[in-house]
């Protein structure tokens, strides 16, 4: 440590090397603990040792602070979260931008400003027409075109499809770029097959403008109950005879609400969103300064409402998003830590894009 600090090449210009500011701290062969020198030399050595130890303790404290800083920054800069076997990435800052991706499903939800990785998801689900959720759509399409990727499939609430068509036509005229896509108006109660083992269905949400959430289901075949007692050769014989021996079972994997107030929780037809393996929902407001009434007025959820309706969430994991930009990471963590013991272990906060006190 002393060798490094005594090298002027390694120090900022406003810090003098030890040789200049504290020449007495230099290790010298003429000063040793047993050099037999005068008592004044011994006293001076002890005094200098105390100075040295005091100086090093300052360095040690600085190094500890630096280590804490590095840990905090590593947490701030961590990209995405891993929950229930899914890696989920993205950013969701209330009023600024929302785009949440599940790369293993090849899907993205909303496209506020088009993060670079979003362009590589083939299926995009738009919940509503506020710009912090749809503003990046032209850029998403242009980027895919730039990379020679196939036209994506973009899902929108039926009531905004015509406006989206007009919006994209304006961008095509201005930019002289094709902006290819398959635009699907997917309404409540409808089902779209993403691939042979994956389908999507919208569900009703409650924002200040028309909105909807989406549930992604895995699809599997399950042997019908009346054939459960049969052995392999018997089942094979039935199958070869053309008899349908299985039922199609849909299992809700990931649900995404977008912006909504708490009324979506009480919608009987939204049961699949509340029992999906992962629920990605919003919690725009966390404190008393912006209470539940304020949240409802603006079509958003307050964290207290999630606590209030905790018994309805049968999800294995809940990813909270869309916090107001007024909060820092520490505010979010502190608020989430106050959730009920049964709810807290399965709640994760997406804090990408938020500032830390560090």
pLDDT digits (tens, 9 = 90+) for 115-156: 999 999 999 999 999 999 999 999 999 999 999 999 999 999
Per the model's pLDDT, the better-predicted residue between 67 and 104 turns out to be: 104
Place 68 in a pLDDT band, splitting at 50, 70 and 90: low
Beta-bridge partners for 154: 124, 183
- Whether the pLDDT of residue 75 is over 70: the answer is no
Largest CA distance in the chain: 109
> Is residue 348 scored above 50 in pLDDT?
yes
Please report the pLDDT score of residue 19 as a whole number: 41
pTM: 0.76
**CA-CA distances (angstroms) from residue 157 to 137, 212, 245, 347?**
15, 7, 36, 28
Residue with tokens 């003429």: 30
Closest CA to 291 of 282, 301, 281: 301
Among 44-48, 125-129, 273-277, name the one with the lowest average pLDDT.
Answer: 44-48
The two counts, helices (H) then strands (E), for the chain are: 11, 15
**Average pLDDT for 210-233:** 89
Q: What is the pLDDT of residues 174-219, one digit of tens each?
A: 999 999 999 999 999 999 999 999 999 999 999 999 999 999 999 9
Using 50, 70 and 90 to split pLDDT, how confident is the model at 42?
low
**Rg from Cα positions in the chain:** 30
**Residues pairing with 182 in the sheet:** 153
**The dihedral of CA 239, 243, 244, 245: what is its sign?**
negative
Above 70 in pLDDT, residue 78? no
87: confidence class by pLDDT, cuts 50, 70, 90: very high
Res 70 pLDDT > 80: no
pLDDT of residue 69 exceeding 90, the answer is: no
Phi, psi of 62 (to 5 degrees): -65, -40
pLDDT higher than threshold 60 for residue 33: no
201 vs 231, which has greater pLDDT? 201
Are 136 and 164 a contacting pair, CB within 8 Å?
no
Q: Which of 38-52, 151-165, 229-243 has the lowest mean pLDDT?
A: 38-52
Residue with tokens 């820092």: 328
Q: Would you say residue 79 has pLDDT above 90? A: no
């Amino acid at each position: 440590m002393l060798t490094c600090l005594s090298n002027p090449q390694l120090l900022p210009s406003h810090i003098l090397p030890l040789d200049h500011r504290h020449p007495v701290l230099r290790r010298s062969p003429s000063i040793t603990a047993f050099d037999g020198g005068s008592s004044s030399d011994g006293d001076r050595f002890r005094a200098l040792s105390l100075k040295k130890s005091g100086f090093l303790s300052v360095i040690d404290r600085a190094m500890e602070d630096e280590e804490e800083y590095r840990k905090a920054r590593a947490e701030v800069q961590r990209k995405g979260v891993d929950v229930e076997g899914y890696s989920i990435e993205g950013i969701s800052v209330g009023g600024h931008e929302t785009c949440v991706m599940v790369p293993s499903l090849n899907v993205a939800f909303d496209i506020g400003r088009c993060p670079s990785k979003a362009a590589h998801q083939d299926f995009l689900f738009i919940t509503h027409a506020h710009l912090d959720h749809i503003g990046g759509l032209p850029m998403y399409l242009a980027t895919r075109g730039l990379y020679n990727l196939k036209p994506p499939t973009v899902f929108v609430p039926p009531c905004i499809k015509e406006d989206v068509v007009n919006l994209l036509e304006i961008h095509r005229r201005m930019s002289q770029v094709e902006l290819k896509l398959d635009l699907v108006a997917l309404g409540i109660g409808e089902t779209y097959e993403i691939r042979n083992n994956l389908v999507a269905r919208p569900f009703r949400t409650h924002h200040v403008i028309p909105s909807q959430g989406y549930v992604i289901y895995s699809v599997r075949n399950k042997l019908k109950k009346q054939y459960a007692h049969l052995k392999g050769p018997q089942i094979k014989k039935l199958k070869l005879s053309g008899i349908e021996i299985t039922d199609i079972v849909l299992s809700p994997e990931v649900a995404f609400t977008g912006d909504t107030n708490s009324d979506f929780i009480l919608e009987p037809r939204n049961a699949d969103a509340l029992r999906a393996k992962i629920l990605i929902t919003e919690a725009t407001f966390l404190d008393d300064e912006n209470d539940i009434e304020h949240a409802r007025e603006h079509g958003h959820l307050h964290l207290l409402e999630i606590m209030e309706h905790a018994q309805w969430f049968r999800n294995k994991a809940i990813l909270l998003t869309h916090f107001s930009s007024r909060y820092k990471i520490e505010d979010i963590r502190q608020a989430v830590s106050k959730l009920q013991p049964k709810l807290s272990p399965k709640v994760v906060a997406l804090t990408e894009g938020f500032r830390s006190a560090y």
